[in-house]
Amino acid sequence: MNMDSRQLDERKVRMILAVVSVVIIAAILIYALLPYINAFFGGFILFVLFKPLFTFLHFRLGIRKQISALVVLFTTIVLVIFPSYFLVKMVAAEFQYAIANISIVVDYVAVIDEMFPQLGVQETVNEQIGNIEGAITAFLMDIPQRLFHIGIILTIMYFLLYYLLVSEESVMKTIYRVVPFHDEHVAELFNEFKKIVNTTVIAAGVVAVVQGGLLIIAFLIFDIEGAYFWGFITGILSILPVVGPTLVWFPAGVFLIIQENYIAGLGIFIFGIILSNVDNLIRPFIGHKIGQIHPFITLLGIFIGVSLFGLIGLIIGPLLLMYFVLMVQMFYEEYMQQREECKQ
């Protein structure tokens, strides 16, 4: 074996060791950062949504990059975190009100148990109350850990957002180098991300207004207190497909039936079923009309995304499905099609 072949073999061994080292370190980092993956998605999503504001501040008004980025960060905090705090505060107040009036339900259950003792209603209700108390206790004990986790997610997300705003060019150059497709295809992937983010936000806003409005109308028709408050809560919960609004109208309907207001209870159930299924029509329609996204991809992506990533999956789910379709097409165009042409 001559000197050149030995050097070639040594280089191959070193290359293999380098690749293995990179893969091992990457696997460790992915494992460590996986619980915070939503922070990275959130940072990129906020970047897309608030990039126009940064562009206006920096390029139109001539404000320094760093100052413009800080203004954007402060704006997102005002628009997201502060409303969330007041929302939680209002829900807590309503929850206390519900607890204070739970005696009505307990008395009604006692009457049913006396009339139909064989059903064991009282025992079932007591068991469920015990389960709820246990769940609340476990939730309260877990609050410090949850707050710590949320704090880390917010820290990562806002650091990433700041870095993307002030160093966009270097980030884009790195991505263009790393992604194994031609530049025009990489640009198409970026455009797809922007399109899906903007379309999802528009669809979420329309769904929130429609579902919240329908619930307000239903509550006003049947003279239920807090119509506008619960309509607002329904609009917020509309980001949870089907399940979200049900958390408002279903307990209201049950409570009305317990109070023997059967017509109002039935009416709330009818309105509730309608408004809970509104998003199955509006989201795919807006996705198809504005974002040119197939309705099947929108619906399937939402259910897959929410189950894997939580609320942020409303955007990530359809995005992953679209990226899969696009990248398969790009792989065929850049590699398989060229290979077939070379054979011919």
CA-nearest of 168, 200, 165, 210 to 288 is 200
For the record, the structure tokens of 50 come out as 């608030």
Higher pLDDT, 20 or 330: 20
- pLDDT for 117 beyond 80: no
Half-sphere exposure of 342 (CA within 13 A, CB side): 6
pLDDT category of residue 36 using cuts at 50, 70 and 90: confident
Cα angle at 248 between 245 and 250, to 5 degrees? 95
**Residue ranges of domains in the chain:** 179-344
- C-alpha–C-alpha distance, residues 337 and 335, integer Å: 6
Percentage above 90 pLDDT, the chain: 3
Crossing angle of helices 313-331 and 37-55, in 10° steps, is 90
pLDDT category of residue 95 using cuts at 50, 70 and 90: low
Average pLDDT over residues 194-221: 85
Average pLDDT over residues 282-311: 75
Percentage above 70 pLDDT, the chain: 74
Q: What is the pLDDT of residue 116?
A: 57
pLDDT category of residue 100 using cuts at 50, 70 and 90: low
- C-alpha–C-alpha distance, residues 315 and 20, integer Å: 34
- pLDDT for 259 beyond 70: yes
Q: What is the pLDDT of residue 98?
A: 56
- pLDDT for 91 beyond 80: no
Cβ atoms within 10 A of the Cβ of 321, count? 21
181, 315 contact by CB (below 8 A): no
- pLDDT for 269 beyond 80: yes
Looking at mean pLDDT, say which of 49-58, 111-120, 187-196 comes out highest.
49-58
Average pLDDT over residues 132-143: 63
- C-alpha–C-alpha distance, residues 300 and 280, integer Å: 11
- C-alpha–C-alpha distance, residues 276 and 265, integer Å: 16
51, 71 contact by CB (below 8 A): no
- C-alpha–C-alpha distance, residues 3 and 262, integer Å: 93
pLDDT category of residue 139 using cuts at 50, 70 and 90: low
Q: What is the pLDDT of residue 124?
A: 64
Q: What is the pLDDT of residue 11?
A: 72
CA-nearest of 62, 104, 111 to 254 is 104
pLDDT in tens, 141-193: 766 777 787 788 888 888 989 998 888 888 788 777 777 777 777 787 788 88
Higher pLDDT, 276 or 144: 276
- pLDDT for 9 beyond 80: no
Among the ranges given (107-111, 135-139, 170-174), the one the predictor scored with the smallest mean pLDDT: 107-111
Average pLDDT over residues 315-335: 77
Average pLDDT, the chain: 76
pLDDT category of residue 197 using cuts at 50, 70 and 90: confident
Among the ranges given (50-59, 97-106, 334-343), the one the predictor scored with the smallest mean pLDDT: 97-106
- pLDDT for 291 beyond 80: no
334, 182 contact by CB (below 8 A): yes
Q: What is the pLDDT of residue 179?
A: 74
Using the Cα atoms of residue 12, residue 18, residue 21 and residue 26 in order, give the sign of their dihedral.
negative
Among the ranges given (13-22, 46-55, 75-84, 159-168), the one the predictor scored with the smallest mean pLDDT: 75-84
- C-alpha–C-alpha distance, residues 245 and 277, integer Å: 10
Half-sphere exposure of 30 (CA within 13 A, CB side): 6
Average pLDDT over residues 72-94: 71
